[in-house]
Amino acid sequence: MKWGLIGASSIAENRMIGAFRESGDEIIAVQSSNAGHAAEFAARNDIAQSVTDLQQLLEQPGLEAVYISSTNEKHFDQAMAAIAAGKHVLCEKPLAMTISDAVGMVRAAEKAGTVFATNHHLRNAASHRAIRDLIRQGAIGEVLSARVFHAVNLPEALQGWRIDSKGAGGGVILDIVVHDADTIRFHLGEGPEEVTAMTSTGRLGKGVEDGVMSVWTMPSGILVQTHESFTHAHAGTGIEFHGTDGSIFARGVMTQNPNGEIILRRGGEATPVSFQPEDLYQRGVRAFGDAVQGKGRPAADGRDGVASLAVALAVSEAAETGQRTRVDYGGF
């Protein structure tokens, strides 16, 4: 497949360009609003063309799909233009800044008949697929609760718009809660109805939150507790599911890398669960390519991206108002 990159970003450079090329795909051009940055990015990454104008990218001969990894407030307009040009779209999370925009993107792609996916990489982790299998097989019985630990130390290189620009979609809620919401939906097959939350700010965040804890109630009655942060250097990440017959403890699995460990505990017995590590982003690109060929669906589609954004926006509102907040899935 022939790709165009919209956004000359760190995630494109550090993860996605390799994932596209490993999958046998080609990157024909990159678009960035800054000509110098675009040209340097293209040269560094062996991409033949760099442009500043989005339409110029979309008019490249043979272009089939675009990967959008600009700052969050740009995703909507860029995705709508790409869909209007008949391109398949792999869009970074959060899909947009509002639910109505995110729903609009997904509906536009559905109407155009193009593939539209959200780059929620954690669904592609072998660890998470193993956890989901355990839950589905009934290894822990009926699930009662889940806990997500996703408090990390935001690397200095990423401490730009994420920590000071509300307008660009900064803050830990739009950055990390979306991933946790998607991961919980992936495991449990349902999303929260209501949430409560509190945030922290000021250690790293300037005008945006740099930490959040939230509690979610699921339609089935399952309770979910989450912790996301930019300021925790030593906490490590993890996810736990607790059921009537056992518990799953997974450590080091809320990351970009294919690592971590899983323990299934039943009574006094603790059993390590093995999985075959695989690059998360490569698997996502492969699933996207298959979907374009009519074979299956992307790992996380547009509707998954709407749902994860809906949860994040509810968490944000709950923290701001101090109220228990209903999640608005925009009619999906």
Residues that bind ligand NDP (CB under 6 A): 7-11, 32-34, 37, 69-72, 92-93, 119, 121, 158, 160, 175, 256
What minimum distance in Å lies between the beta carbon of 48 and ligand NDP? 18
Alpha helices in 59-98 (DSSP H): 75-84
Distance CA 172, CA 327 (A): 18
| Host H or E run for residue 325 | strand 325-326
Residue 123 identity: R
Of residues 118 and 325, the one with the C-beta less far from ligand NDP: 118
Residue 68 · residue 116 · CB < 8 Å: no
Q: Which residues pair with 194 in a beta bridge?
A: 217, 326
Of residues 175 and 228, the one with the C-beta less far from ligand NDP: 175
What minimum distance in Å lies between the beta carbon of 142 and ligand NDP? 32
What minimum distance in Å lies between the beta carbon of 119 and ligand NDP? 4
Q: Beta strands 116-118 and 143-151: pairing type?
A: unpaired
Residues 6+ apart with CB under 8 A from 176: 150, 152, 228
Of residues 105 and 218, the one with the C-beta less far from ligand NDP: 105
Of residues 69 and 229, the one with the C-beta less far from ligand NDP: 69
Tokens of 44: 């560094």
Distance CA 288, CA 292 (A): 6
What minimum distance in Å lies between the beta carbon of 121 and ligand NDP? 5
Residue 279 · residue 148 · CB < 8 Å: no
Residue 306 identity: V
Of residues 92 and 240, the one with the C-beta less far from ligand NDP: 92
Of residues 246 and 284, the one with the C-beta less far from ligand NDP: 284
Q: Which of 30, 45, 307, 55 is nearest to 181 (CA)?
A: 307
What minimum distance in Å lies between the beta carbon of 91 and ligand NDP? 8
CA distances to 123, 244, 311 from 183, in Å: 6, 21, 12
What minimum distance in Å lies between the beta carbon of 137 and ligand NDP? 28
Of residues 145 and 165, the one with the C-beta less far from ligand NDP: 165
Of residues 114 and 183, the one with the C-beta less far from ligand NDP: 183
Q: Which DSSP letter does residue 157 get? A: G
DSSP labels, 231-289: B-SS---EEEEEESS-EEEEES-SSSSS--EEEEEETTEEEEE------HHHHHHHHHH
What minimum distance in Å lies between the beta carbon of 248 and ligand NDP? 23
Nearest 10 degrees: CA dihedral of 167, 168, 172, 177?
Answer: 100
What minimum distance in Å lies between the beta carbon of 116 and ligand NDP? 15
Residue 28 · residue 2 · CB < 8 Å: yes
What minimum distance in Å lies between the beta carbon of 175 and ligand NDP? 6
Of residues 15 and 187, the one with the C-beta less far from ligand NDP: 15
